Chain A
Amino acid sequence: MFDEEIVLLDITPKDSTEALSIVSDELIKKNVVKESYKDAIIKREEEFPTGLNAPSCGIAIPHTDAIHVNKPQIAIARLAQPVKFLQMGDGADVEAKLIFMLALKEPHAQLETLQKLMALIQNETAVAELIAAKDSKTVINVLKENDL
């Protein structure tokens, strides 16, 4: 699910909506998702936040309905400065430093990928490597080492 290798490093959005917009634009540019994906993902985040306070840093895993998606893909963005998302489930503040934007087609086929992603965000060493990575190649290697 990482075929297109969409990695955005140290983007500087002013808030979570702008962050979602920047990453969505990349997915649209690569034709991974439809134009409608961007509005859908922003609206979905307002209704059902996707922030998670992972053990070592705040992350967000924005995603939306499959009808907006052309092919399954994960895009990763690292923020120069964290922006505030809300935690799914309880609405707690999440200062998100990493965003894993999910373009999902069929849920069960992607279960394994989602499980690996959840394992990754719980792996403090891997998260530290993603935060320290100097270039997108390093980021991709970390993801590959974690089977993503």
Chain B
Amino acid sequence: MAKSLMVVCGTGIATSTVATGKIKSYLEEQGLSSEVHFLQSKIADEVSAIGNDEYDIVVSTTMVPSSIKDKVINGVPLLTGIGADKVFEEIKAKIEA
């Protein structure tokens, strides 16, 4: 079954959209697109769902409460380009886990 990949930001409309686009292109290159289904939202609506492990993979471009910090991949490098490869590898590792 495809894994759920939730991408969150502060508003759910701007940086999460860019991050989602970057991840999609990467997964297409890797031939892994069919392994995930994408979800996008604002962090305020998702804190409890993330805490309850409702998503397989979570990427955030905004600060998340410390209670869920360990469950979230910091997606900011996808926006600046600095360290983006490491983020892609983390996502890939979770898909293949």
Residues of A within 8 A of B (CB): 44, 47-50, 52-55, 61, 63-66, 87-91, 102, 104, 107-108, 110-111, 114-115, 118, 121-122
Contact = CB atoms under 8 A, between A and B. Distances in A.
Contacts of B10: 44, 47-48, 50, 88
Contact of A118 (B9, B12, B62, B79): B79
A91 B66 CA distance: 13
Chain A CB within 10 Å, residue with most, of B9, B11, B12, B60:
B11
A92 to B, nearest CB: 9
B11 A64 contact: yes
Given A48-B11, A90-B74, A118 B18 contact: yes
Contact of A114 (B11, B18, B63): B18
Given A52-B80, A115-B21, A88 B15 contact: yes
Contacts of B17: 107-108, 110-111, 114
B76 interface: yes
Contact of B80 (A48, A55, A66): A55
Contacts of B75: 89
Interface string B60-89: 111100000000001110011110000000
B43 interface: yes
B81 A115 contact: no
Nearest to B12: A107
B14 A48 contact: no
Contact of A87 (B11, B12, B18, B76): B76
Contacts of A50: 10, 15
Contacts of B76: 52, 87-90
A113 B80 CA distance: 15
Contacts of B63: 48-49, 88-91
Contacts of B74: 89-90
Contacts of B21: 111, 115
B39 interface: no
Interface string B1-42: 000000001111111011001000000000000000000000
A65 B13 CA distance: 8
Closest 5 CB pairs of A and B: A48-B10, A89-B76, A107-B13, A122-B81, A107-B17
